[in-house]
């Protein structure tokens, strides 16, 4: 019984760890890069996708979802459009 409990607890930890590998952690901001700033918003790359948030960082929205890599966001002069490179 002791070996079964040890195996079971190891299995539970493995499942929890493996599920966390594939999930994106939106509270961990160490992967944010290439920020572009307009009067009202910030565009940035996170996990190879383009995101936009209010200037204070609130209400982040994922703009692209693809297997390719997005990069180099730039706001238009009026701040209404974003140009970026995508694969």
pLDDT tens, position by position, 43-64: 999 988 999 999 998 999 999 9
**33 close to 51: Cβ distance less than 8 angstroms:** no
Cα 53 to Cα 51: distance, rounded to the nearest angstrom: 7
Cα 35 to Cα 57: distance, rounded to the nearest angstrom: 12
User: Quick check: pTM over 0.75?
Assistant: no
Sheet holding 41-46, edge to edge: 33-37, 41-46, 49-54, 61-62
Cα 60 to Cα 25: distance, rounded to the nearest angstrom: 13
Report the percentage of the chain scoring pLDDT > 90.
Answer: 51
């Amino acid at each position: 019984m002791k070996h079964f409990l040890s195996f079971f607890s190891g299995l539970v930890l493995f499942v929890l760890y493996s599920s966390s590998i594939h999930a994106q952690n939106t509270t961990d901001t160490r992967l944010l890069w290439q920020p572009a700033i307009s009067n009202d918003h910030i565009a940035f790359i996170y996990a190879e996708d383009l995101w936009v948030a209010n200037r204070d960082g609130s209400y982040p929205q994922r703009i692209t979802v693809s297997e390719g890599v997005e990069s180099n966001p730039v706001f238009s002069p009026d701040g209404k459009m974003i140009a970026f490179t995508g694969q």
